[in-house]
Amino acid sequence: MKHRKNSGSESKWYLSTMFRTPNYRELLILCVIAMGMAGYLIYLMSLNYKPTEESKKFIQAESHGIHPRVNNMCDDTDLKHFPNESVDFRGFNNYTGYPSGCYVVPDIVHLIKFNQDEFNFIEMICIASILINHKPSRLMIHTNMFRFHGKYWTAIKRLPNFDRIRVVYLSKPKSIFGHSLENKYGSWHSSDIARLKLIQTYGGIYFDSDVFVVQSMHPYRRFEFGLEWNYHMNLGNQVLFGHKDARVIPHWLETYKQYNGSLWYYNGGELPTQAVLYYKPELIHRVRDKFGTDVKMLTYLYSTKDWAWQEYHVIHLFSRHQKYIFNESSVLNYHEFPIKQMILSVMPDYMYPTLEETGALP
C-alpha cells in the first residue's frame, strides 16, 4: 500500500516538471533515468548468445558440479579439460558415453521462436509434451520478440512445470561468414545456425517447435553430441543434443563457408552429412529410427492405424507438411490415428471444449 502511494506522488512530480522549466537537479535526474533506460536496451540487445548470469550459474552448477555428481552430471573425475577449460573429448566413446555413465549434457531444453509472438495449438501441445514427458530442469525459449501473447500462450502458462520455462532474448542471426541470411529460406536457415550456437553456448537439447516428446531424453545426455541419422538419409537437425564443447559443432559451422541460400536443406543437413559425418562419424552418437525425423512420419502419424508411436523417444510432427488444422476442438473429430492419441495424451483438461461450445447442450 505504502509503495503504491509513493509512486503516485512521484508521477505527479514528473507531471509538474513538464509544465515549467526544470531546474538543474531535475534535469540531472531525468538524464540519469534516460541513461538507465538506454543502458537496459543495449543490455537486452547484447544478450545475443551470451548466457545471463542466472543461466551461467545454473550451467556451472549443472556441468561442473560444485559438489561431486550433482544430478549425476559428470565432474572433474570423469572429464579431462584443455588449459582453456573446454572439455577434452578426445577418445570419447560415442557408443557408451563415459564408463561411469554420468551425464555430459545439462538438462536444458532449447526452443527457438523468431519473429512470432504467438503460439499455435500444435506448438502448445509440443511444449506440454516436453514438460510432461521429459520434465527438463529448464526449458529455454529463445526469441527476438519482447513478449508473447495469445490464447495458446495463456494455455502454456497453466501447464504443469511452467515455472521451469525461461524466455530469453536472442537476436536472429543475419549473416554467416559474410553470406547474408536475408533470402527466401533465410528465417529457417538462421534458426539452423542459432540452434548450433545455442548448444555451443549452453549445451542441452534442442527441439524444433513441432517436435513431440514421447519419452524422457535423459539416456541421450550421456553423449558428447548426437542426432538422428537414418540409413541412406541425411542427418535430421530437428532434434539435437550435446555438450557445449562438442567437437562436431565447429566443423558443422565451418561448412557454412559454403552457404547456399537457395537450397532448403543443403547446409541444414546435406552438406554436414557429406562433409563432416561421413569422415568423422565418431564425433556423434548416431540415433536411428528413434526421433521420427523421416518424412515417412507423415503417413504413420496422420493416416495409419496401430502404429507403435510409443516406441519412439521423440517424433517430428511435420505439422507444416499436412493440411488438417488441429486445435482443441478439431482434434476430437480426427480419425483414430496416432496424432490424435498423442495430442490427447498431453492436452490439458482446461483445453477441452465445454458442452456449450460443442453444441451438446439443448
Ligand X SMILES: *[C@@H]1O[C@H](CO)[C@@H](O)[C@H](O)[C@H]1NC(C)=O
Contact residues toward ligand X (CB under 6 A) are: 82, 84, 86, 94-95, 260, 262-263, 281-282, 284-286, 325, 327-330
Complex with ligand X: residue 148 or 300, whichever CB lies closer: 148
Complex with ligand X: residue 165 or 287, whichever CB lies closer: 287
Complex with ligand X: residue 218 or 286, whichever CB lies closer: 286
| Rounded alpha-carbon distances, angstroms, from residue 227 to 37, 73, 132 | 42, 20, 22
Complex with ligand X: residue 41 or 325, whichever CB lies closer: 325
Q: How far is the CB of 85 from ligand X (least distance, A)?
A: 8
- Yes or no: say if 316 and 293 are a contact pair by the CB < 8 Å rule: yes
CA distance 291 to 227: 8
- Yes or no: say if 200 and 59 are a contact pair by the CB < 8 Å rule: no
CA distance 59 to 361: 52
Q: Give the other-Cβ count within 10 Å of 323's Cβ.
A: 5
Q: How far is the CB of 195 from ligand X (least distance, A)?
A: 19
Q: How far is the CB of 285 from ligand X (least distance, A)?
A: 5
Q: How far is the CB of 21 from ligand X (least distance, A)?
A: 55
DSSP assignment of 146-212, as one string? S---SHHHHHHHTSTTGGGEEEEE-PPP-EETTEE--STTHHHHHHHHHHHHHHHHH-EEEE-TTEE
Q: How far is the CB of 332 from ligand X (least distance, A)?
A: 10
Closest listed residue to residue 216, CA positions, set 308, 132, 139, 122: 132
CA atoms within 13 A on the CB side of 129: 28
Q: How far is the CB of 272 from ligand X (least distance, A)?
A: 15
| Strand 138-143 to 165-169 pairing | parallel
Complex with ligand X: residue 16 or 60, whichever CB lies closer: 60
Q: Give the other-Cβ count within 10 Å of 140's Cβ.
A: 23
Q: How far is the CB of 106 from ligand X (least distance, A)?
A: 17
Complex with ligand X: residue 220 or 300, whichever CB lies closer: 220
Strands (E), the chain: 108-113, 138-143, 165-169, 175-176, 179-180, 204-207, 211-213, 225-228, 236-242, 285-287, 314-316
Q: How far is the CB of 361 from ligand X (least distance, A)?
A: 17
C-alpha cell at 11: 508521477
Complex with ligand X: residue 6 or 354, whichever CB lies closer: 354
Q: How far is the CB of 42 from ligand X (least distance, A)?
A: 26
**Total residue count of the chain as it appears in this document:** 362
Complex with ligand X: residue 95 or 146, whichever CB lies closer: 95
Task: Assign 110 to helix, strand or coil.
Answer: strand
List residues bridging with 168 in a β-sheet.
Answer: 142
Q: How far is the CB of 86 from ligand X (least distance, A)?
A: 4
CA distance 75 to 64: 5
CA distance 349 to 38: 44
Complex with ligand X: residue 266 or 300, whichever CB lies closer: 266
CA distance 118 to 172: 17
Complex with ligand X: residue 6 or 84, whichever CB lies closer: 84
